[in-house]
Amino acid sequence: MSIPQPRRSRTEATPATEPTRRQALPTRLAHLALVTAVAVQLASGSLMAPPQAGRTGGDALFAMHVLLGLGAVNAVALFWLVVLLRPAGVGTPPGALLPWFSAPRRAALWRDLVGAARLLRAQRLPRAAATEAALAPAVHGLGLLTATAVAATGALGWYGGVGPLVAVHPALVTLLWVYLAGHAGVALLHQVAGEGRLGQMFLPWRRSGEAGEGR
């Protein structure tokens, strides 16, 4: 079902000319590294044959999954470092990714949610720029927390020998699959609507022309 776009006034920018905030280069590179690591680990984890009771080891994909899990941990750590160490006023504030501890940020998130729900009930797609202040960063923060939990439970469970975390790891992987499916679906909708969100995040070498650097 196609989702009609909100009606625009004559003075309102069209999707082709509407300014959007583009992530700064370090953020885009860290995001690309994180997405690549997560994609490789999810793919190998879905196809591998892990060790079974009474058998030794697993197959080659399992060995690759275990080894590259350290790369995933590094990718998650790199993204956190980029978020936490970039200068103040540059990019999305860390507090916007984790708005749950701030009353003003929770209120802003609620306003974004209510506005988006109203548009969706009217079968209209919320503009990405309208959710950049609160809703989009909060969703990204949930994804980052989920990826962190997946990487941490896998690494600590296997390399640290913390058995209970090995049992929790598959459930978190399923949660990450659900998040990625929803996140990718929304990104594709915005891409089809002409907002060009995918190119902004997955082509880090592109120069900023129509979109402004700064997140």
**Is residue 91 assigned to a domain?**
yes
Residue 203 sits at φ, ψ, to 5 deg, of -120, 75
Instruction: Specify the pLDDT at position 68.
Output: 94
| Residue range of the domain that includes 99 | 23-49+57-204
- With 0-12 / 13-18 / 19 or more C-beta atoms within 10 angstroms meaning exposed / middle / buried, residue 98 is middle
Q: What is the mean pLDDT of the segment spanning 86-104? A: 86
Is residue 55 classed as helix, strand or coil in its secondary structure?
A: coil
Higher pLDDT, 12 or 3: 3
% of the chain at pLDDT higher than 90 = 48
**Is residue 167 assigned to a domain?**
yes
**Is residue 40 assigned to a domain?**
yes
Domain count, the chain: 1
* Most confidently predicted of 127-136, 169-178, 191-200: 169-178
Higher pLDDT, 7 or 79: 79
The reported pTM is 0.77
Confidence at 14, pLDDT banded by 50, 70, 90: very low
Of 124, 129, 125, 126, the C-alpha closest to 17 is: 129
**Is residue 140 assigned to a domain?**
yes
Single-letter code of the amino acid located at 77: A
| Tokens 């860290």 found at | 30
Q: Which of 52-61, 81-90, 122-131, 176-185 is predicted least confidently?
A: 52-61
**Is residue 42 assigned to a domain?**
yes
Task: Tokens for 101, please give them.
Answer: 């501890």
Rounded to whole angstroms, how far apart are CA atoms 174 and 44? 14
